[in-house]
């Protein structure tokens, strides 16, 4: 086949209908959505986020600190329990109530320290955090007093044995607090990144036709395939097939651009400007009853534009 001119190509190829263009657009949207993929999963997203401290190391540190905390509890338990029980018996001679008071004294001393330290940073700020720190120090003071009263140390080892458990509970609680805060911040960071990914996915999937890949790839390809389909059948299909076999990329670019620009011809402002243009005062009658001056409905586009500019 001889070299095809662009005019011959445009004149020979059938054009798409509005229904064809709608189907092409919908097919392109589906391809864009498939390219974007499904909604991000929180579990899958967190799986690929690199944590600052690997989880096995955090578990190891937590296990070691947990063992030390249990040891400190046990060393302090019986002394603080005995101190609380004996103090209670000095006022109320009821063994059951005294035992309950002894357990409560230990819980007040040690658990108050752990709970106050953990809550101090997580839930409180400013002066309220200082109040929680004061509460933790009260618990340490109760535990220290109970240990010293019962052990009555007279040597350095005795003092160390009496002071170490309460102080260790405080320091280990601070260590757990630091680990917990770090873990919570990591989870918050992962959650924020996950929400960003979900928001980006929602924005892309809400309007797939606004994605660059829609206009640069999927929609033009859908139009091209539809042009091939409708021009491969019907009257004159044999000649059109021969023409399509000889088309080069620049020919397809023009054909696809013609289809994509079909919906862009309408200009509301220009049309409205012509419609509201004032008619001429003197309008000689024609044989058909219309005036001789150009009117918006009988003029050429150039005459309509000139008429609008005059008014």
Which pLDDT score is estimated for 294?
46
Which pLDDT score is estimated for 34?
92
Burial class (CB in 10 A: 0-12, 13-18, 19+), 88: buried
Which pLDDT score is estimated for 116?
87
> What DSSP letter does each residue of 12-47 carry, written as one string?
HSPPPPHHHHHHHHHHHHHHHHHHH-SPPPHHHHHH
How far, in Å, CA of 253 to CA of 228, rounded? 13
| Tally of CB atoms within 10 A around 273 | 17
Which pLDDT score is estimated for 266?
61
How far from 217 is each of 32, 212, 253, 306, CA to CA, in Å?
A: 9, 8, 12, 40
First-residue to last-residue Cα distance in the chain: 54
Which pLDDT score is estimated for 290?
45
What is the reported pTM? 0.53
How far, in Å, CA of 6 to CA of 9, rounded? 5
Question: Are the beta carbons of 156 and 122 closer than 8 angstroms?
Answer: no
Q: Is the dihedral of CA 113, 114, 115, 121 positive or negative?
A: positive
Question: Are the beta carbons of 176 and 67 closer than 8 angstroms?
Answer: no
How far, in Å, CA of 29 to CA of 37, rounded? 12
Which pLDDT score is estimated for 152?
87
Give Rg (Cα) of the chain.
42
**CA 291 centroid distance within chain:** 65
For 143-168, how does the pLDDT look when each residue is reduced to its tens digit (9 = 90+)? 989 889 888 888 898 899 889 888 99
Rounded to 5, what percent of the chain is helix, strand, coil? Answer: 75, 0, 25
**CA 155 centroid distance within chain:** 62
Secondary structure of residue 54 in the 3-state scheme: coil
Which pLDDT score is estimated for 229?
93
All residue ranges of the chain with pLDDT < 70 are 1-4, 46-53, 263-311
Packed helices 268-275 and 301-310: angle between N→C axes, nearest 10 degrees: 70
Q: What residue spans define the domains of the chain?
A: 6-34+207-264, 47-204, 270-310
* Residue pointed to by tokens 């409205």: 272
Name the nearest CA neighbour of 233 among 19, 27, 14, 25. 14
How far, in Å, CA of 268 to CA of 265, rounded? 10
């Amino acid at each position: 086949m001889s070299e095809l001119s662009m005019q011959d190509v445009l004149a020979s190829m059938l054009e798409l209908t509005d229904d064809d263009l709608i189907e092409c657009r919908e097919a392109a949207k589906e391809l864009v959505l498939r390219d974007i993929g499904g909604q991000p999963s929180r579990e899958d997203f967190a799986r690929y986020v690199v944590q600052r401290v690997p989880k096995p190391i955090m578990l190891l540190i937590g296990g070691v600190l947990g063992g030390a905390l249990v040891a400190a509890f046990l060393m302090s338990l019986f002394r603080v329990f005995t101190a609380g029980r004996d103090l209670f018996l000095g006022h109320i001679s009821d063994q059951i109530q005294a035992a309950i008071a002894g357990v409560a004294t230990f819980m007040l001393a040690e658990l108050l320290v752990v709970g106050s330290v953990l809550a101090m940073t997580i839930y409180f700020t400013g002066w309220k955090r200082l109040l929680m720190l004061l509460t933790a120090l009260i618990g340490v003071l109760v535990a220290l007093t109970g240990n010293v009263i019962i052990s009555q140390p007279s040597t350095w080892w005795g003092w160390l044995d009496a002071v170490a458990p309460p102080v260790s509970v405080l320091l280990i609680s601070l260590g757990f607090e630091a680990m917990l805060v770090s873990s919570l911040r990591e989870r918050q960071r992962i959650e924020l990144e996950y929400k960003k990914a979900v928001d980006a996915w929602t924005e892309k999937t809400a309007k797939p036709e606004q994605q660059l890949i829609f206009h640069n790839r999927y929609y033009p390809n859908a139009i091209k395939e539809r042009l091939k389909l409708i021009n491969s059948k019907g009257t004159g299909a044999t000649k059109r097939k021969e023409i399509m076999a000889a088309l080069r990329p620049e020919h397809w670019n023009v054909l696809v651009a013609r289809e994509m620009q079909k919906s862009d011809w309408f200009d509301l402002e220009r049309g409205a400007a012509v419609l509201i243009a004032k008619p001429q005062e003197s309008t000689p009658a024609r044989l058909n009853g219309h005036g001789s001056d150009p009117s918006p409905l009988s003029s050429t586009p150039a005459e309509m534009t000139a008429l609008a500019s005059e008014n």
